[in-house]
Chains A and B, each alone.
Chain A
Amino acid sequence: MSVLAIHPGAAYHIESLEGPRYAGYFDRLVRPEDLATVDLATFDVVFVPCRTPADRMIEHKERLRAYLDQGGTIIATGETACEAFLPGIRFTPQPTNWWWWLEPGADLGVRIASPGHSLFSHIGEGDITWHLHGWFDPPDGVEVLAVNGEGRPILYIDEVTTGGRMVITSLDPMFHHGSHFMPATTRFLDGFLPWMRETLDKGASA
């Protein structure tokens, strides 16, 4: 038992977390309301999927902090308002430009900031490029993996704020994959979830 995923229950969560494509990457699913019944310390990774309503996570803020401080890893993907329940998050939302790719010579501007990072042996720049919801101002010392067109972080790993690790992104792959929309989001998960297993999940056999 090593990866615990929060399961808020929307159609796109059910499709992404329970569907055959990715179900094997999650050892246990837990409803936000049941989080207090789980011993988080028995999991290497806690995965918070896109659009998990923050008001259903806020009551677990101290529990999540304690889990991080004992060395746990939390992954939070986009539109979770994770600044409401995780420490050290400073997020600035931006209007979503769904149409960037219609313009001639379009370039959303997303760039890989750490090309040597192990994640990018699984995914490329095209797999982190669909649209943007905002950027972060992370603390000094985090590892920034991807940035927007202005060079601001949209995907980073924070091992300085707590005793554990937070993988934070404003990208929202599960919402779109689970809505059967936007192939880049599926490609992202096709690479990100195996990377999660191989790199973050100490108990994994994958």
Chain B
Amino acid sequence: MTVLMIQSHYQAPFTMGGALFSRHIEAGTVCPVREMALTEAHFATATGLITSTHLDQIGFQRFHGAVKALLDRGGRWILNGHILRPILPELSVFQPIAMPKRADFEQIRLYDHPVFAGLDQKALETNRGVAGFYGRGHNPPPEGARVINALGAARTPVDWVWARPQGGEVLCHAGNEFWACGDDAALKQELADRAVAWVNGELN
């Protein structure tokens, strides 16, 4: 069973995820597919889905049924980025923090989801001492979602997980891929490994 990873951005030659996911791709656990080469068959044979901040959200609408079917049968989806074109009716458009200050980027763990449990969220708060790379707003959580990580005194729900009543789960991160944040290479690899394991149903 494989995790479908949609590669939206251009690289020549095409690679996906760089070193963080190479082991999983070589093992066949993760199947990277160019966005324009995607077919419904890719979804039908996947255990779950990983999308990036570069996703073509307009083009992705054509897979509305395939995404829904994947979740209906219990599949998991890690959704990175700002939602501007919700593909499910329960998802909503990204809300940026207005005029954010440093304190608005403080990261607070609210729920020890297995992808993040035991990891120091503070290590993801800054890159070289600069905050704001992790997230700058939130995708409004659907009813019943559980907030994993929040930002600042407003507790902006930057990361949440939603067990969809009809089946499947969505882990949403309102920013660039969360395994690319912070300065700790080992932590990034750990997050990438856990992301794959969770989407593949091996981490619960």
Contact = CB atoms under 8 A, between A and B. Distances in A.
Nearest to B56: A9
A5 to B, nearest CB: 13
Interface stretch (A35-43, A52-60, A141-149): A52-60
B44 interface: no
A179 to B, nearest CB: 7
A180 interface: yes
Contacts, number: 72
Contacts of A204: none
B85 A54 contact: no
Contacts of B83: 11
Contacts of B89: none
Nearest to A29: B58
Given A15-B82, A55-B10, A10 B96 contact: no
Given A9-B57, A53-B10, A180-B136, A102 B85 contact: no
What size tier do the contact residues of chain B reach? 20 to 34
A8 B36 CA distance: 11
B96 A7 contact: no
A102 to B, nearest CB: 6
Nearest to A83: B12
Contact of B10 (A54, A99, A179, A180): A54
A201 to B, nearest CB: 25
Interface in A1-43: 7-12, 14-15, 31, 33
B178 to A, nearest CB: 15
A179 B132 CA distance: 11
A11 B57 contact: yes
Contacts of B10: 51, 53-56, 81
Contacts of B85: 9, 14
Nearest to B55: A10
B12 A53 contact: no
Interface stretch (B23-31, B123-131, B191-199): B123-131
A102 B36 contact: no
A53 B55 CA distance: 11
Contacts of A98: 127-128, 130
A172 to B, nearest CB: 12
Given A9-B59, A53-B10, A81-B12, A179 B82 contact: yes
Given A31-B59, A53-B8, A55-B36, A102 B54 contact: no
Contacts of B127: 98
Contact of B132 (A15, A55, A181): A181
Interface in B84-112: 84-85, 94, 96
A160 interface: no
B9 interface: yes
Contacts of B132: 181
B79 to A, nearest CB: 11
16 contacts: A10-B53, A10-B55, A10-B57, A11-B82, A14-B85, A15-B84, A51-B10, A53-B9, A53-B35, A55-B10, A55-B34, A81-B10, A98-B127, A102-B129, A179-B136, A180-B137
Interface of B: 8-10, 12, 14, 34-36, 53-60, 81-85, 94, 96, 127-130, 132, 136-137, 176
Q: Which 5 A-B pairs have the closest CB atoms?
A: A9-B58, A9-B56, A53-B10, A11-B82, A14-B84
Interface of A: 7-12, 14-15, 31, 33, 51, 53-56, 81, 84, 98-99, 102, 179-181
